[in-house]
Amino acid sequence: MSSRARFWGLFGVILVVILGAFGGVSWKLYQELPELDSATMTWMQNGFLYLLMALFLLLLVMVQIWAWLDKVLIQPLIHISRAVAIIANADPAHEIRLEPDHLLGALPESARQMGTALLHARRQVAETLATHAEGLERLEKVIKHLNVGLIVINADAAIVLYNVAAQNLFRNRLDALGLGRSVYELCARTPLETTMDFLNRCHSVPGGCEEKGDARFFCAALHDDVMLDCAMSIFPGRQLGHHYYLITFEEATRRVSGLRRSDRLIRHALENIRGPVANLRAAAETLMAYGDMESEARERFVRVMHDEVGELSVRLDSIATEADTLAAEHWILNDVLTSDLIDALARRRERDQRAPVTAIGEPLWIQADAPALLLALECMLEKIGQQVGPVPIEVEALMGNHRIYLDLIWAGSPVSASQVESWHAINLEDGGVVIRLEEILERHGCEVWSQVHRRAGHAMLRLPMAPSPRQWRFPVQQIPERPEFYDFSLMGSFETLGTRLAMPLGGLSYVVFDSETTGLHPSQGDEIIALAGVRIVNGRVLLGERFECLVNPRRPIPVESIRIHGITEEDVRDQPFIEEVLPRFKAFVGNSVLVAHNAAFDMRFLQLKEESCRVRFDNPVLDTLLLSVYLHDEVTDHTLDAIAERLGVDVQTHLRHTAMGDATVTAEVFMKLLDLLKAKGISTLGLAMRASDSMVRIRRQQAEANY
């Protein structure tokens, strides 16, 4: 029961007591009326009428006073209580807004000062922690950018740390690479377990691991036929007897192949230059030993030296070419923002006084070797200019089928496929290393093609690029929230969760997700067209661990829905069906708690597809909308934007109303709500689910009353 309900309940009790007392007195007088004479009875009747009028006026005055107290005291107190809870647990900079006629005196200003002091104190603590954590941050940056895949696991083989190189190495199983996930979902179990047991045994002997060093081994990656060259080391955790294991991974097949080719190159070089060098040495020694040699003989020896030098030069050129090829195979792909790439390209074109290059659309993240890709783009722009003339070029990045399309657009006709194919043999020079255009494109997994652009009179050259895990998509305009959905029977049975109900909220793994759909009626044929989720582990939103996918709905997308999420039928035409996407999403979720805003809406879409996709979402579910209603029942606006503003969560409007954008905002909001729940005594999963469930009936009644 809210504070206002208790306040008006007290008024009701007082009113009942007064009416009860008046009724008791009236009943007593009524019983004595037959014993009174007529004059006394008339006087009593008039007195009773006056008393009744006075009681009515008294009650009217009491109602007015009680309503006035509710406005100037009770409601401001409730607002101050909610604001102080937000200041203490979510946003110290939260603004307290009260009507000026309240009776709280200096209490709001004191609360504001408390918030300011708390904000200052937290900043000081953060600065202190930042100062002491500089070394750790540097170490984290070094680990993050190591070219060797690195994963740290605990004794249960759960992943506690990994770097970008590991993401690149296990790019086909990114759904299984995440904090808290088992490393056995990535690699064969036996080699890892055997090595962990070996390190545990040698660690029990003083100095044992230090003497033996890292344990090296090979294991197979589960996602394809790649053998991994691994090294594992052990280090102690904070608690006695708890160990962590640092594992580095390299593709053994590629590494061994490179070593073999390098070895062949060295042996080939020695064999090829040994003969010419020996001949040159013999000729030189002969000339030096016989200074009086006849001119004809001397000329023969000089000719031999000239021929051998020429042969040696040819062989050295061949060796240099092969060495360049080996060097080109060790490129490293990094995250690159397309706007940065296009800006660099435009500056180069401007410097060389060539036709301008302009970026259009929103920037997207790709994985590329930026210097090599710039060389390739420059080369292709040069060739386009030779074919169609010095026309301005626009470059646009678009989301495609698991790829990002980098489109070079110009006014004119497309370049023929044979012409594009002929470009592949062009040699480009990068820092003294000669690289074929074809090698750069192959390294980026890029098959270039030219076609007519959707803009009339224009053509384009399309380069499909690998997307970065940082990628977001579909910037759209700010629009209203979708309506709430009230099929809350999907929340599941508490009994099936067993001991998980008693688990603390801070120790659980969550997947915060959102979907975009063709419409608002899942039972009437509307379908999912985008699905995204981010993971929360140990109280941290892991933006690097995300699931994001477009879905082909096998049906048209209404114009009204496109205005909301910006996803067109062209965007989803070549995307996978829900039967492929949903099992992948379930693998990403695992046993985590599902979190969403207006969760029943998204869960209904998922559960209607369980049978056809052969998956089951029996995970516990928490709803940020219901949790917000529970915490702030006197507030009427519980849209995602309103909650975010109330709790001090920064909302990037250009990312809202995309599946990934909404999932990210919801995750940040959920983290704030967890702190508020803890302050209110809601510390376990079971308590949080019961708090949410208690709000279901209220929200449904409110919706029916407003209908």
Q: How far apart are CA 83 and CA 101, in angstroms?
A: 18
Q: How far apart are CA 495 and CA 253, in angstroms?
A: 50
Query: Which pLDDT does position 474 carry in this prediction?
Result: 37
Q: How far apart are CA 111 and CA 168, in angstroms?
A: 50
Query: Which pLDDT does position 87 carry in this prediction?
Result: 74
Query: Which pLDDT does position 2 carry in this prediction?
Result: 55
Report which secondary-structure segment, H or E, holds 558.
none
Which range has highest mean pLDDT (206-215, 329-338, 377-386)?
377-386
Pick the CATH number of 135-330 from 3.30.1600.10, 3.30.450.20, 3.40.50.720, 3.90.1150.10: 3.30.450.20
Query: Which pLDDT does position 640 carry in this prediction?
Result: 87
> Is there a contact between 155 and 190 (Cβ–Cβ < 8 Å)?
no
> Is there a contact between 231 and 238 (Cβ–Cβ < 8 Å)?
no
Among the residues of 97-251, which ranges form H helices?
A: 107-132, 134-144, 164-169, 189-203, 208-212
SS3 396: strand
Q: How far apart are CA 465 and CA 376, in angstroms?
A: 13
Query: Which pLDDT does position 492 carry in this prediction?
Result: 54
pLDDT band at 477 (very low <50, low <70, confident <90, very high): very low
Kindly report, residue by residue over 574-613, the tens digit of the pLDDT.
899 999 999 999 999 998 999 999 888 888 899 899 999 9
Q: How far apart are CA 133 and CA 126, in angstroms?
A: 10
The average pLDDT across 164-190 equals 83
- Please enumerate in sequence order all residues whose Cβ is within 8 A of that of 690, keeping only pairs 6 or more positions apart, or say none: 494
Please list the active-site residues.
657
pLDDT band at 409 (very low <50, low <70, confident <90, very high): very high
Q: How far apart are CA 202 and CA 54, in angstroms?
A: 94
Pick from 126-140, 166-180, 283-297: least confident: 126-140
- The mean pLDDT of the chain is 76
Query: Which pLDDT does position 510 carry in this prediction?
Result: 94
Query: Which pLDDT does position 480 carry in this prediction?
Result: 45
Query: Which pLDDT does position 666 carry in this prediction?
Result: 92
Q: How far apart are CA 623 and CA 603, in angstroms?
A: 11
Is the dihedral angle over the CA atoms 433, 437, 438, 439 positive or is it negative?
positive
Q: How far apart are CA 350 and CA 343, in angstroms?
A: 10
For the cut 60, the answer to whether the pLDDT of residue 133 exceeds it is no
For the cut 70, the answer to whether the pLDDT of residue 515 exceeds it is yes
The average pLDDT across 425-432 equals 72
For the cut 80, the answer to whether the pLDDT of residue 281 exceeds it is no
Query: Which pLDDT does position 550 carry in this prediction?
Result: 93
Q: What percent of the chain has pLDDT over 90?
A: 11
User: Alpha-carbon Rg of the chain, whole angstroms?
Assistant: 37
CATH architecture of 488-706: 2-Layer Sandwich (3.30)
246 or 288, which is more confident? Answer: 246
Q: How far apart are CA 625 and CA 599, in angstroms?
A: 8
> Is there a contact between 461 and 384 (Cβ–Cβ < 8 Å)?
yes
Kindly report, residue by residue over 306-333, the tens digit of the pLDDT.
777 777 766 666 666 565 555 545 455 6
Helical axes 685-706 vs 624-631, angle rounded to 10°? 90
647 or 314, which is more confident? Answer: 647
- Please enumerate in sequence order all residues whose Cβ is within 8 A of that of 278, keeping only pairs 6 or more positions apart, or say none: none
Provide CATH 3.30.565.10 ranges for the chain. Answer: 334-467
Provide CATH 3.30.420.10 ranges for the chain. Answer: 488-706
Pick from 310-324, 415-429, 617-631: least confident: 310-324
Query: Which pLDDT does position 176 carry in this prediction?
Result: 82
Provide CATH code, domain 334-467: 3.30.565.10
Kindly report, residue by residue over 352-375, the tens digit of the pLDDT.
778 888 888 777 878 887 778 888
For the cut 60, the answer to whether the pLDDT of residue 505 exceeds it is yes
The average pLDDT across 88-114 equals 74
For the cut 50, the answer to whether the pLDDT of residue 99 exceeds it is yes
Provide CATH 3.30.450.20 ranges for the chain. Answer: 135-330
pTM for the whole thing? 0.47
- Nearest Cα neighbor of 404 from 473, 455, 476 is 473
- Nearest Cα neighbor of 626 from 581, 582, 691 is 691
Residue that is written with structure tokens 């009339």 in the block: 456
